[in-house]
Amino acid sequence: MYSVLICDDSLVARKQVSKSLPEDWPVSIHFAKHGREGIMALREGKGQLLLLDLNMPIMDGYEVLQEINELNIDTKVIVISGDIQPSAHERVKELGAIDFIEKPVDANTLQEVLVKHGIRQGEVVEEEPDEDALDPDIRDCYQEITNVAMGQAGDRLARMLGVFVELPIPNVNLIEVSEMHMMLQDIEAKESVSAVCQGFIGGGVSGEALFILSDSSFDDVAKILSIKEEVDDKVQLELLMDAANILIGTCLNGLASQLDLRFSQGHPIVLGQHRSVSELISANKNKWKRTLAIELSYGLEGYNVQCDLVLLFTEESMNMMNYKLAHLLED
């Protein structure tokens, strides 16, 4: 069976790429959430085809391509990235990628590329329009204002910790509750996590912010903050709440200012410490319905620290948000 490895730090993007593969193609699909994990999977023979993101923590896509060359790993690489700079296209081709697809990927584009390079034979079928998909222009607007907000949050975090904060391209998707559960199950699938949820509302827009930190991150966070005491549950809870407060508050303020809104934030709720994501889902399954999800993954350069911030907006909120963003779409 043909083996496909999807390497992307975004939870939603990995799922989206997987769903875009031809339904009748018998393949074994594997996932990696950063480049180092991707190289390990390739060395284990998981990935005759590598679908590779560029902006990732620990090891980015360019470094993955370089290492594939150095280790002489036999795999075909298609880069799937939101980086639309011509230099990015040229650089990945020089490093051995056979093609470049811009995010968000769709099934027809991916099928065309697979056929073009002889990876999969057959006719390209015209795909049915996805009624639930976001309009590309609207998605671009959401990504643009989120880029500004996450940059502000990253700057505040960097100043507080004195480290470089890695900021990937935000992922924006309209998803069903079942897809939300699948996305959450993919978060730090190999280890337990701690999570905080905080509601927000204002000016016809409401939702919840979900902050998730892998348990393996706590030791390095404590090291950065020069905490000498034992990093027990109490200290970890303080670190979790401090990080959640900074990222959630700054991101929401950044979005609100661009939308000319003011958000009131509810009291943060600890969903759980040292628990599997499936337990978090089971305990909070009634909280999330069909929603607009904006996913942000933060990493700290040189440290084993990775956290995810998912902003969940109710479907009704999109009417007001689209109205507020209409000026960005004017010619």
pLDDT in tens, the chain (331 residues): 789 999 998 767 787 888 889 888 888 999 998 999 999 999 999 999 999 998 887 889 999 999 999 999 999 999 998 776 777 788 899 999 999 998 878 888 899 999 999 888 654 444 444 545 667 778 878 888 888 888 888 888 888 888 888 877 788 877 765 566 555 555 444 457 788 888 899 999 998 888 888 888 888 888 888 888 888 888 888 888 888 888 899 999 999 998 889 999 988 888 755 555 455 445 445 555 567 888 888 888 888 887 888 888 888 888 898 888 876 666 4
Produce one character per residue of 220-247: b if its CB has 16 or more CB atoms within 10 Å, e if not: bbbebeeeeeeeeeebbeebbeebbebb
Contact 210/251 with Cβ under 8 angstroms? Answer: no
pLDDT at position 272 is 58
Beta bridge partners of 299: 166, 306
pLDDT, position 7:
95
In CATH terms, 2-116 corresponds, of 3.30.750.24, 3.40.50.2300, 3.10.180.10, 3.20.20.140, to 3.40.50.2300
- CATH classification of 136-329, choosing from 2.60.120.700, 3.40.1550.10, 3.30.70.141, 3.30.559.10? 3.40.1550.10
- 321's tokens: 């948000």
Give the span between the Cα atoms of 269 and 26, in whole angstroms. 43
Q: Would you mind telling me the total number of residues written for the chain in this entry?
A: 331
Distance from the Cα of residue 275 to its chain's centroid: 21
Structure tokens at 230: 């034992």
Which residues are 297's β-sheet partners?
308
Measured between alpha carbons, how far is 166 from 301 in angstroms, rounded to an integer? 6
Cα–Cα distance for residue pair 211/61, rounded to 1 Å: 25
Coil, helix or strand for 316? coil
User: Pairing between strand 193-202 and 264-265?
Assistant: antiparallel
Strand-pair partners of 169 = none
At residue 42, the pLDDT reads 95
Residue 109 pairs in a beta bridge with none
Q: How far apart are CA 32 and CA 14, in angstroms?
A: 9
Residues 176, 174: Cα–Cα separation, whole Å: 7
Strands 165-166 and 291-300: antiparallel
Domain ranges of the chain: 2-116, 136-329
